[in-house]
């Protein structure tokens, strides 16, 4: 097993990008993300490893065989598996599911074998999927599959979820586990999907106090978000001493996202990644939500640069490439915050941190 850690691994392939582009909720997003990564000249700073299609056996590490048949083969009853409304069937669904899962497994395997200390898979991070049900635009829960694969080498794993929406599927999967701690920073309120993640500390049985939630109010700015992340993250790392970390970087909390709930810039996500890298554990980095193609590309391309140690090299302007016209009228790499009130105060964030600290003991 190698002890020499070289460049970060970026998992992608032509097939996996095409499969991700087919997802109706994020149609065409993956192509934009990787086109910008290429335009920034980051290909030479990463090890590119091809995503592969996960097998039925690999999908069944978490999902039921009946569900795998429903999403990968024709003829199953859609309503029994949540394949309705926002998770309706679409052309290429089986390919999307297999490559989203397979890419995350390849990234996890790069960490297990020691080929890298940081592995990136931007088409992953589908965190709402259940064992036998699609949910929240997530037909697969590759984050759970990645954690299960990491457990082949790493005893204790910390999963951190930066998505605007609660990482409910991952928390539910491991709520009884003593080996996996989940930390989700999100917005939760009545009527806001998925309607969970209100309690600061949850978990059941052996997993008691290992499901941790930071519920922030609308308007959260960079300082609010990163302050809560750093304070709670340090508590959790100290308390649970993870051997590896999984960081889901759903960027629907960006100021430019159609949800318009949080008011974050890419600076917040970059700082969260830097903090996670400073913990010096093997790190699996995944994508997730985000419904402005250009802003997702800006964010994940910048995070790729940070992972490579080239965060300071990112230019002010979006470089020339095939999708440049979609970045107008400013054509800037930055995502500007909006002029809206941050409904979180320093006192309210401190209260959350103190509540978590008190319950963790």
Answer yes or no: are the C-beta atoms of 335 and 255 closer than 8 Å. Answer: yes
List 118's β-bridge partners, or say none: 283
Shortest CA distance to 26 belongs to which of 289, 335, 269, 249? 289
Kindly name the residue from 34, 63, 121, 128 that is annotated as catalytic.
128
> Count of CB atoms within 10 A of residue 274's CB?
14
Active site residue 186: no
Query: Which two tokens mark 203?
Result: 């978990």
Answer yes or no: are the C-beta atoms of 264 and 163 closer than 8 Å. Answer: no
Enumerate the active-site residues.
128
């Amino acid at each position: 097993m190698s002890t020499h850690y070289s460049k970060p691994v970026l998992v992608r392939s032509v097939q996996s990008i095409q499969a991700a582009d087919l997802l109706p909720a994020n149609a065409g997003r993956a192509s934009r993300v990787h086109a910008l990564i290429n335009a920034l000249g980051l290909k030479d700073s990463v090890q590119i490893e091809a995503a592969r299609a996960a097998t039925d056996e690999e999908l069944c590490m978490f999902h039921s065989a009946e569900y795998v048949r429903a999403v990968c083969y024709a003829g199953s009853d859609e309503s029994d598996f949540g394949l309705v409304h926002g998770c309706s069937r679409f052309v290429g669904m089986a390919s999307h599911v297999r490559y989203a899962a397979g890419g995350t497994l390849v990234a996890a395997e790069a960490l297990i074998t020691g080929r890298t200390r940081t592995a990136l898979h931007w088409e992953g991070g589908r965190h709402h999927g259940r064992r036998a049900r699609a949910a929240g635009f997530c037909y697969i829960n590759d984050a759970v599959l990645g954690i299960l694969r990491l457990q082949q080498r790493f005893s204790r794993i910390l999963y951190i979820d930066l998505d605007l929406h609660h990482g409910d599927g991952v928390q539910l999967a491991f709520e009884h586990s003593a080996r996996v701690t989940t930390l989700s920073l999100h917005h939760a309120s009545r009527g806001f999907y998925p309607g969970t993640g209100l309690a600061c500390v949850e978990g059941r049985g052996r997993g008691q106090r290992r499901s941790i939630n930071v519920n922030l109010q609308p308007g959260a700015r960079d300082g609010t978000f990163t302050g809560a992340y750093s304070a709670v993250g340090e508590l959790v790392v100290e308390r649970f001493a993870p051997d590896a970390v999984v960081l889901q970087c759903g960027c629907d909390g960006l100021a430019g996202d159609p949800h318009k709930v949080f008011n974050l810039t890419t600076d917040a996500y970059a700082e969260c990644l830097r903090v996670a890298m400073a913990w010096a554990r093997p790190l699996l980095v995944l994508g997730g939500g985000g419904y402005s193609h250009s802003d997702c590309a800006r964010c994940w391309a910048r995070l790729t640069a940070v992972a490579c140690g080239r965060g300071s090299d990112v230019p002010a302007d979006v470089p020339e490439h095939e999708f440049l016209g979609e970045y107008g009228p400013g054509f800037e790499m930055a995502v500007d915050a909006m002029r809206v009130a941050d409904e979180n105060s320093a006192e309210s964030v401190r209260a959350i941190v103190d509540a978590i600290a008190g319950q963790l003991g």
